[in-house]
Amino acid sequence: MNSIYFLAAFWFLAAVLSTIIANRLKISIALMEIIIGASIGFVAFKLNYTDKLALNDDWLKFCAGVGAIMLTFLSGAELNPDIMKTKLKEVTIIGLIGFLAPFFGTSLIAYYLIGWNLQASLLCGIALSTTSMAVVYAVMLEYGFNKTEYGKGILGACFVNDLGTVIGLGLIFAPFTFKTLIFISVTIVLIFILPWITDFLIKYFAYKTAAIRTKWILFVLLSMGVLAMWSGSEPVLPAYIIGMVLARTMEKDNFFIRRLRTMTVGFLTPLYFLRAGALISIPSLIVAPLIFLVLFASKIASKIFGLYPVIHNFRDDKNEKWYYTLLMSTGLTFGTISALYGLSHKIISQEQYSYIVGVVIASAVIPTLIANKFFLPSHLLEEPTLDDQIPDIDKKRK
């Protein structure tokens, strides 16, 4: 048990340093956590201490996994269904192009140029077709875009993009079984009854008990995560849907959302991003960097050439178009999940897995870094008012 506490303290020290460095360099904290994680992983490899980082220990995998689930849930909760109806055309078209362009582009490159077999090439296309909901939402939250219609459009397009990835992975590699039908059926039922049950709990128990809303949401998310994994899907997918279903309920209490964000961003997601960075096998990439560079270039180029002309139809400002395009070019959660699925089912080799995951994580860092540094549409952000900075409970006291 002492070793767990020591490792947890070590990772949170890394999270604190990431926050300080990110603040000084004016870049996203999530990106800096990935970079710091990769640096720690490389140093540990050189010192032969990789096993001591506990990257595959159950406690760290659980905390990181819950962090991804909670971050995905919160991003879904930002998307008010009424607002999404007005942006349905935008998020659908951009999301589908964001999936299809890199899927075909990187699959063809892997098959014809690199020489991988068909199954490995298709898996590569699936893994590199993703966008990173975790990174995008973390950036949206950090800069305040999550409160704008522009940011909600990006989050909606990310969801459609990743939904295409999940469906593609299932159709090509995972058999459609009765388990899938059960998962879909339960999800549909939950869409109709979850808001009613949640509102009932809030009305009769929320202000008389200790944090029942947080306990209820964690129960629902983890339960649906178990069902998703049992059916062959991924737990972050129902988390996003549940967030959208409860968006109207969540927006009624901003203070509650702040508390969930504090728990998620302060405790869970640093472990997720640091672990994701530490899992990069830098030595493998150094041995044969050309394959890594080709795959990275194919993903980013196919995303840009596919998305920019389409986004041009919905946004006029240059910075808005490039920021939108570059954030949609990121990848992390679903990309690493898809790569791990391919490795565990022997669709790709360990070496191919390292290349794919390296590209996925690099795409989480480089496009976002460029977007925030050179194309940040700061004109869309409003200066926060004093009331925005005061918790609801303090407002009531006033």
pLDDT at 377: 92
The whole-angstrom separation of Cα 327 and Cα 154 is 8
> What's the rounded Cα separation, in Å, for the pair 381 and 190?
35
Q: What is the 3-state secondary structure (H, E, C) of 184-241?
A: HHHHHHHHHHHHHHHHHHHHHHCCCCCCHHHHHHHHHHHHHHHHHHHHCCCCHHHHHH
| pLDDT of the residue at 105 | 95
Token digits of residue 93: 């078209």
Distance CA 93, CA 369 (A): 25
Question: What is residue 1's predicted lDDT score, i.e. its pLDDT?
Answer: 59
Element of type H or E holding 364: helix 350-374
- Pick one of 3.40.50.620, 1.20.1530.20, 3.40.50.720, 3.90.650.10 as the CATH number of 2-377: 1.20.1530.20
Residue whose entry in the numeric block shows the structure tokens 């699936």? 126
Please name which of 132, 150, 242 lies closest in space to residue 188, comparing C-alpha atoms.
242
Cα–Cα distance between 38 and 354 in angstroms, integer? Answer: 13
| Cα(162)–Cα(168) distance, integer angstroms | 10
Query: Average pLDDT of each block of 10 consecutive residues along the chain (398 residues)?
Result: 84 94 80 86 88 86 88 79 79 94 96 95 94 82 86 88 83 79 92 92 79 90 91 79 86 82 88 84 78 94 95 93 94 79 82 86 88 90 50 44
Is the full-model pTM beyond 0.85?
no
Residue 282 token pair: 């830098």
